[in-house]
Structure 1
Amino acid sequence: MSSEHVERRLAAILAADVAGSCRLIGIDEEGTLARLKALRRTLFDPKIAQHHGRVVKNTGDGAIAEFASVVDAVRCADEIQRGMAEQNIDVPQDKRIELRIGIHVGDIIIEENDIFGDGVNIAVRLEGIAEPGGISISDDARRQIRGKVDVTFEDLGSQSLKNIAEPMRVWRVPYGRAVPAVPNRWPVDETLALPNKPSIAVLPFTNLNSDPEQEYFADGMVDDIITALSHFKALFVIARNSSFTYKGRAVDVKQVGRELGVRYVLEGSVRKAANRVRITGQLVDTATGAHLWAERFDGGLGDVFDLQDQVTESVVGAIAPAVEKAEIERAKRKPTESLDAYTLYLRGLARFYQSANRQANDEALRLFNRAIELDPDFASAYGRAALCYVIAKTNGWFSDTANEIAEVKRLAQRAVELGKDDAIALAASGWALAFVVRDLEAGAGLIDRALVLNSNSAEAWFCGGWVKTFLGEQEPAIGRFARAMRLSPLDPRVSGMRAGTAFAHFLLGRYDEAASWAAMVLQDNPDHQPGLRVAAASNAMAGRPEQAHQAMARLRQLNPALRVSTLKAVLGPWPADDVARYEEGLRQAGLPE
């Protein structure tokens, strides 16, 4: 065994290489080499030194640099790419010198003035998969810089790197990240970084007829859809002027995603036949090309504006939940140690939608609170956290102590302060204030504000339906629940919408209708406690004791402590006469005093 000591240390390694160097040298050998030397002298080497790194070796058209801090390495790489982009602004595309950069933090071997080992090899392989003008870093590097550098990274997932035994999770700064805006010029082959919330572009719908009137109709509908989507504060929506640059062009949605910096694209077509018009729409994930939603609408041309409004409402009502669902699935695929506030929020939503389960509801609240810790100005996270208490109270998991009620009030008020133009934050807070804090006037006012801000929000209509039942306005409540279900028919909260509809019918004395709606709730969710309660009460009052007792037996299995005397803990602030009738129905179904 050799006794020779091998010097090792932990370091951040930056590997850089010129993309397409052979092609550039083939076009102009002397000119390219002279420009490379000038770039090293004026940009690359000074930036390495400025950020406390050292160039270990030059490799002809590339270099390896070592840093004691991965934060310094990433900041250096970002500034180098920014500088390269600025120098390339007036250079023709085929003559641009563009760098690929890879960064890894790991163990290296030092030998004289050179470095070796897996740390170096991985950085070189990461450089090899970076895009021209972009940066790729390992997950180890990403963990150490999180929250410390002002650079947006995109998760590429697990990647197999050449000659590296195990796949590695890789992150990247997309190509074009550092390219400054150039007035009056359309970007060529650039990829914009994705915003930190779901992003969508609505492309001009294709007119499949030669009739110019159809063109105006299709363009007007796209205008309306863009405007309606922009009311969802959780969405980043590309403005009309950018979307319409694609009008009349055959486009690849993946290319649109790169050029506009969006993850989702809505495209569609309009075809007229006689007095009928057919409109199709489809939502596409630009990263994968996968179709997330597609629908067809047929209507008469008697009132084109009415038809345009109907299609806009249907499309927008379907798209917002489809995007949210896709974002939740993406969040689930992110590493569990991710502490990004938006990722935590999405994970919380995934658990929140399983909220008939107490453990899921508790976990959702924990995740929303963690998101708030990372981003104290996250209005929707405050609103959803308040809603977790609504779900807990509905299911009898809420102790109704002064401290808990004060916490709900705090969360709701903070959501309102931060989200004055956020319909989701306002609606969630309104429901929580009305139901838990029992401030009906404030809760109803917030939901009305939410509906003014965004009349296409299924969640605002849903929360508003429940608050209308508290106010004793059952017919408007049924209308609000119907609007919510029409806007989002596949919504994970549809059980709550149906239960609310059942309850409103019960309070109107329509016990058969109430029992029918309750049956739909329990068909999808047999353990839905509000659904079981209204099923038991409505069947009892309709003279169907067997069905009433069956629902009550399951309800008491789920909540053995429930009594007529303790109902207040799970009921909202309904008028006294309504509560008395509901209690009577539950007594007849077998609920003990």
Structure 2
Amino acid sequence: MLYCPSNLPSWEALVSSERVERRLAAVLAADVAGYSRLMGREEEGTLAQLKSLRKTLIDPAMAEYRGRIVKTTGDGMLVEFASAVDAGHWAVEVQRSMADRNTGLPQDQRIEFRIGVHVGDIIIDEDDIFGDAVNIAARLEGIAEPGGICISDDAQRQLRGKLDICFDDLGFQSLKNIAEPMRAWRMRVDKISAAAGSKSVSAAPSQLFALPDKPSIAALPFRNLSGELEQDYFTDGITEDIITALSKWRWFFVIARNSSFSYKGRQVDIRDVGRQLGVHYVLDGSVRRAGSRVRVTAQLVDTTTGTSIWADRYDRDLTDGFVIQDEVAQDVATAIEPAVSKAEIERARRKTPEQMVARDHYFRGMWHFHQFSKEDAQKAIVCFNLAIELDHTLADAYVGIARTLFSTRAYRLSPGRDVNAHKVNAQIASAAKSALALDPSSASACYILALNLAHNDDCETAVKFARRAIELNENFALGYFALAVASNFLGLPREALTAIDRALRLSPNDPQIFAWLAQRASALYLLRRYAEAAETARQSLGQRWFHTACRVLAASYAHLDMIDSARRTLSDLLASEHSEKTIAEVIRPFKREDDRNNYREGLLKAGMPQQ
């Protein structure tokens, strides 16, 4: 939708009239994503659908929320509302209704709107409106996703707390022909996010990345078309195995599972995904499981053009279902490098039906693991043990146990501090070592061993295991995170900073990004870059309260002579039952005396007890 400055009257022309009428308004710009494609595919049918939508959805909602359509183009409209709340209600109602109407339709047949909203001063000229507010709304619409709503900071301030909706902070955006970068927000219109409440939520920065110098790919969560929510674990498991298989091919740059899964349940434009994650290819697909049969469809899309360069469908008996992820991953790689096909086909054929049943329990366990709650952690352990009972050679199930036990302790999912810590550490190590004995090439087993060793005063060995995880899979974001943790403790903050930045690049939308940012802040602190450490720690705490980030922030403030801020932050740290209470506890894992003294000095100035 084009509302460019060249389409507007000049400022001189506007002010030359005797009287210019102005008013404050909420301006909404909307257009149809992929309008030219839809018209090229079926012009008459598209026009008929748009007219029907105007009559049955757009105009009735416009009347309800007192909007005025200022002008329309072939693919969009400009609308004026008396308030941001009315504009927000209209936009959410329209987008949710469109999402329901598009359910089950192929992507190329969907009509999807992009909407931008801004609140500002407008100039009235008969029935038309002009001014920066119009231009900003149009530019915000231009960066919205198909099916999405992008709003300005001014609009978000007026909407928060007044709509049953969540917001994602997109940070400052450089909009075409707008002099200064503007902060923008994404309204989360999916019903799941609405149920979470109306508070604003922060997301990982919407940074755009350049394409790497080797083939790069993101595998989006496959859609569950079975009609049964309980089958989500099966669908997620197939996607996860595809990501794992792709990551083992070193000539691929593969986006990590957690960032790919941040798109689950969202309607997205593949080209936007490519820009947001910095990848050339996106793998998309669906799974339909019915009785003893399963069908998987998949396609590989070139994100620079939006065209499908490969697609296939797999119909299998359920006993064959778990080889599908290997075949899909193998076919994607074959499209880029034929030499991998023989080895991957042979690996898939070696799996037995018994192993596939065990993997069913493993997939279900991983689904529970990623919920990060005490109850789900317990269910995950049960699932992993069931998998082992059916197939004691399934290394991934042992890794699942180790990861769940470590996360339960690290994220305080169980009550109390350090209860049976020695016993839990032994269980983690035992499970991870069992996985390595079964599969010496398990990067995940090396990763969890590295983390556990780093938190138990064996940083030298932890670094070795972390580096081994990366050697096994250079696209394994968790391996770089473990290397950062161990390197910080060992007195290698430069290496830690390099490692954590690599992890953040591989998985920029990771749900555990608060912990990753905390490690980055710690590395910056040890490098005595206190202002940067404080800023990164604040970013971490903006995601979720975490004791490491809080400790770094207090010490950084102290070194910056911001003593009042340091003491307030330390007070928060000491008030939590999930944090260290003395300087001796904080510095215990750090091996280099200079690092110990650095923390001792900062935390002492902030007011932390020594013992």
Give the TM-score band, short-chain normalised. Answer: 0.3 to 0.5
The TM-score, its normalising length taken from structure 1, stands at 0.45
The TM-score, its normalising length taken from structure 2, stands at 0.44
Bigger CA radius of gyration:
1
